Amino acid sequence: MAGIHEPNVIDLVTHDPSRNEYKLIMTEGRPWSHAPEQLTQLREKINNYAMFILDEGMLRAYPESAGNPLCIQLDCTTPPTAEAQELIDVASERLLDYGIRFIVNLLG
């Protein structure tokens, strides 16, 4: 999987039949740090995922997703730093304006 260090790549798209929701998953395999470039990469990745949805790239690539709820999910191995969480909170609030959920999924 590409990860947030490759902001122009959609890492994974899945369908959750229990919610009938399409998830666009981004991954961060590195531990969170206070490095500014990690936050920049996360911001770019979130923006690119949002644009993929809002500019109808999602509908073109996955026409079966039409009319279904959408969720952007960040998979990571460690909890985000306070700075990363603040960015996630702002993004979550803005995405909800478009009916898109944003969640963080801590792996293993």
The pLDDT of residue 4 is above 80: yes
Among 92, 74, 95, 99, residue whose Cα is nearest residue 11: 74
For residue 90, the tally of other CB atoms under 10 A from its CB is: 13
Under 8 Å between Cβ of 23 and 13: yes
Q: Which of 20, 99, 97 is nearest to 64 (CA)?
A: 20
What are the structural domain ranges in the chain? 12-31+38-106
State the CB neighbour count (10 A cutoff) for residue 91. 21
Q: Name the pTM for this structure.
A: 0.95
pLDDT at 1 over 90: no
**pLDDT tens, residue by residue, 12-40:** 999 999 999 999 999 999 999 999 999 99
Q: Which of 11, 16, 14 is nearest to 28 (CA)?
A: 11
Q: What is the pLDDT of residues 40-84, one digit of tens each?
A: 999 999 999 999 999 999 999 999 999 999 999 999 999 999 999
Q: Is 17 in a helix, a strand, or coil?
A: coil
Q: Please name the fold of domain 12-31+38-106.
A: Transcription Regulator spoIIAA (3.30.750)
Phi, psi of 87 (to 5 degrees): -65, -45
